[in-house]
Amino acid sequence: MSTATPSADNGNGVMTLENLAKFPEGQKVYSCMQCGTCAATCPYGDDLAFPPRAIITMLEAGLIEEVFNNPGLLNCVTCYACMAKCPRGIKLTEVLLPLVKEQVFTHLKEVPAELQKALENTMRYGNPMGESPRKRALWAKSSPVPVPVIAEIKRAVDVLWFVECYPAYHPRGHDGNRATAKLFKALGIDFAILGNEEKCAGECVRMAGETGLFEMLTDANIKLMRKYKFNRIVTGGAHAYDALKHKYPAAGGDFEVHHTTPFFAQHLAQLKPKLKKKLDYTVTYHDACALGRHNGFYEEPRALLQAIPGVKLVEMNHSGVNSICCGGGGGMWLDTYYAEKGCERLSERRVKEALDTGANVLAVSCPYEISRFEDALKVAGGEKRMVVRDVVELLAEALED
């Protein structure tokens, strides 16, 4: 079974569903008191077939094969809500669900077409969109701030910027990239990117249950990054951050890693005097699952937004730990599959809440969310009332020109 589980080897080998009890965090699974909070918190609770509570029952009853043979767990978008709410503190999304999801994925009679294409593309081209790897760094030409490639400058840098696939290829991602470059420059940070050599960090692949492919990507990226000298990695990808922070170390890639939002928040004292342009926006912030619930960055994005002159921050009904997943993450390539199953699109549920706040800007910190929410706003008829902006885009806009 998986070698990509979050457990450190404690002398019992790699954690599997069979030897769970040999690991402290695995043993905790058996402390479940069947309260059902997990199922009630889950945004797709009704569609899972086996919510975490039921998975644990089946595991204890020796009937886990039945869970493997049901595609229901494809509806787990890996939002960390059940884990955040479990009164027993069971690491559901971190420990139990990945082990089960991997088996569900392997047992699938047919992989949903959109997901299959994304996996095949990631395997061949290193990005789920199936774009040429030779064009991965092409966006940098459009950046007014020069963006050096580490292999070309042939020297150590302070920050290695892990760009990730969506920002590298998606036009709306390029906007965020140009903003990030501008902010690095404003702070006098010495940075470089990996360029065309970078591959998908792989977190969405892992969350879909394709752990073998995740390991391939992890190995390739770690081998690549070890070639270069840098102090720390900064990435704008919320899931790339999650993978680099929590999964790469076990595979031998123990780097200091930051996400752009908390990274710039750390530099707020230095940044704030430079945020001179007044932005008359009412902003609501969507907490990305990977940054908020999984890593506790609730204050950082808000501190940055409030540092922008003119910005008025308003909160959605569900925010912070109660934030509702955009449906990306573990469900990134399953929109068509969910639609065919008749499930509500989570991004649409989320933008309706955002629109209800009366804000005219929906601020995000995960590159997937931009296109997901922009699409959802069109469906909800709110695209004239609200725009979606990465926090870095707003910061860069507020910088004095």
Partner 1 sequence: MDILVLMKVVPDVVEELEVGPDGKSLDTSFLRTIINERDDHALEQALLLKDKHGGKVTLLTLDAPDIDDVLFTALAKGADRAVKICGVESVQSTQTAVKLFGETIAKTPGLLPVDLILTGVSAIDDLDGLMAAPIAQQLGWAYTGVVTQVALADKTATVIKEFAGGVRGEYEVPTPAVLGIQAAEKPPRYVPVAKVRAAMKSMTIETVDAPAVEAATTVEVQQMAKPQVTGHAEMIEGSPEEVADKICELLAKRGLI
What is the binding site for partner 1 (CB under 8 A)? 105-106, 110-111, 113, 116, 119-120, 123-125, 130-132, 134, 210-213, 215-216
One residue of 5, 7, 93, 347 binding ligand SF4 per CB under 6 A: 93
For ligand SF4, the closer CB: 41 or 323: 41
How far apart CA 18 and CA 36 sit, in angstroms, is 23
- With CB under 5 to 8 Å by kind, the binding choice for 34 among ligand SF4, partner 1, none is ligand SF4
The number of residues making up the chain comes to: 401
**Residue 190, exposed/middle/buried by CB under 10 A (0-12, 13-18, 19+)?**
middle
Least distance from ligand SF4 to the Cβ atom of residue 48, Å:
6
Q: Using an 8 Å Cβ cutoff, are 41 and 88 in contact? A: no
Query: Nearest approach, Cβ of 251 to ligand SF4 (angstroms)?
Result: 23
108 vs 123 by CB, closer to ligand SF4 = 108
- Nearest CA-CA partner of 126 in 95, 91, 162, 96: 162
Q: Is 76 in the site for ligand SF4 (CB under 6 A)?
A: yes
> Could you tell me which residues are beta bridge partners of residue 267?
none
Looking at beta carbons only, is 112 or 327 nearer to partner 1?
112
CB of 226 within 8 A of CB of 183?
no
Q: How far is the CB of 18 from partner 1 (least distance, A)?
A: 16
Paired strand residues for 193: 149, 161
**Six token digits for residue 57:** 């029952």
Nearer to ligand SF4, 104 or 240 (CB): 104
Q: Which residue has the tokens 């995960």?
A: 366
Identify what 106 binds: partner 1, ligand SF4, none; CB under 5 to 8 Å per kind. Answer: partner 1
Among the listed residues 23, 50, 68, 80, the single contact to ligand SF4 using CB under 6 A: 80
Closest distance of CB 316 from partner 1, Å: 33
224: tokens are: 């690549």
